[in-house]
């Protein structure tokens, strides 16, 4: 069995780091790798510096990493990025199970898993919290708002892993040292010959025209009163003063 986990390097303050939601996908992929003795490859698209994200995943326990990089890929939206990732997974021999995080902290679309599964032509399951080998394929558990579902599925399959559904491991010293010199496969722009048809880079269907820092403002008011009626009246006055009167 071969497993691929897709990760992303995202901005954090003045630097870059591995996307937090992807850590839960990496941990679940590692658990499946350990129970099946599978090969685990980390895959990312980004600038050459995104190699650091792959080394972080290798330090956690992945066997190898693939970086797809090129100026022509810059500005790709979810649609275009999924085309690049799918092509990379196929180029490196395919995968029986593909793992994704639920979202990235920069784009935050939550759409990559579905797009990528469609590009690969394989089933997709979201909000997965566990995946185990069974007699006839894999048994995965997904948590919805109201219940947990146990589903039997035959590979290939793509899953996005619910955040906070496990405890991502720390890298050991041995793995950290190994990750420093672990080989990273690099794929370039020739991976996607017809970038316009694939919707990659400046040919993506959507373009980010501007970004800005959201302004967060808050105000705290302390209410006092001898009785519940006094407190209720004070709250009503406070809300009315803030432009939110209570309709009676």
**Residue 32: pLDDT band by 50, 70, 90 thresholds?**
very high
Q: Which helix (H) or strand (E) holds 130?
A: strand 124-134
Q: Report the candidate in 75, 47, 41, 76 with the shortest Cα–Cα distance to residue 61.
A: 41
125-176 tens-digit pLDDT: 999 999 999 888 999 999 998 999 999 999 999 999 999 999 999 999 999 9
Task: Say yes or no to pLDDT of 43 above 90.
Answer: yes
Alpha-carbon span 54 to 5, nearest angstrom: 10
Strand order in the sheet with 184-187: 148-153, 137-143, 124-134, 157-161, 97-101, 2-6, 39-45, 64-68, 184-187
Q: How many other CB atoms are found less than 10 A from the CB of residue 26? A: 26
Alpha-carbon span 117 to 7, nearest angstrom: 15
**Residue 211: pLDDT band by 50, 70, 90 thresholds?**
confident
Q: Indicate the Cα dihedral angle 92, 94, 96, 101, nearest 10°.
A: 70
CB 73 within 8 A of CB 85: no
Task: Say yes or no to pLDDT of 18 above 80.
Answer: yes
pTM of the predicted model, to two decimals?
0.84
Task: Say yes or no to pLDDT of 238 above 90.
Answer: no
Q: Which helix (H) or strand (E) holds 71?
A: none
Alpha-carbon span 63 to 61, nearest angstrom: 6
Q: What is the pLDDT of residue 122?
A: 97
Q: What is the pLDDT of residue 248?
A: 64
């Amino acid at each position: 069995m071969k497993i691929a986990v897709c990760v992303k390097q995202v901005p954090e303050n003045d630097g870059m780091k591995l996307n937090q939601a992807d850590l839960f996908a990496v941990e679940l992929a590692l658990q499946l790798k350990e129970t099946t003795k599978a090969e685990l490859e980390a895959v990312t698209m980004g600038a050459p510096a995104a190699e650091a994200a792959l080394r972080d995943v290798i330090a956690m326990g992945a066997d190898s990493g693939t970086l797809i990089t090129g100026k022509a890929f810059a500005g790709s939206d979810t649609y275009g990025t999924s085309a690049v990732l799918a092509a990379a997974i196929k180029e490196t021999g395919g995968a029986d199970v593909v793992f994704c995080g639920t979202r990235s902290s920069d784009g935050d679309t939550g759409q990559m898993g579905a797009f990528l599964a469609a590009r690969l032509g394989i089933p997709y399951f979201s909000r997965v919290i566990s995946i185990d080998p069974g007699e006839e394929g894999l048994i995965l558990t997904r948590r919805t708002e109201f219940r947990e579902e146990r589903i039997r599925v035959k590979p290939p399959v793509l899953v996005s892993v619910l955040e906070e559904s496990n405890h991502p491991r720390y890298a050991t010293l041995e793995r950290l040292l190994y990750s420093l010199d672990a080989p990273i496969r690099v794929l370039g722009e020739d991976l996607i010959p017809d970038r316009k048809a694939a919707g990659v880079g400046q040919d993506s269907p959507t373009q980010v025209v501007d970004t800005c820092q959201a302004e967060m403002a808050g105000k705290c008011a302390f209410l006092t009163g001898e009785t519940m009626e006094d407190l209720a009246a004070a709250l009503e006055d406070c809300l009315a003063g803030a432009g939110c009167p209570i309709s009676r």
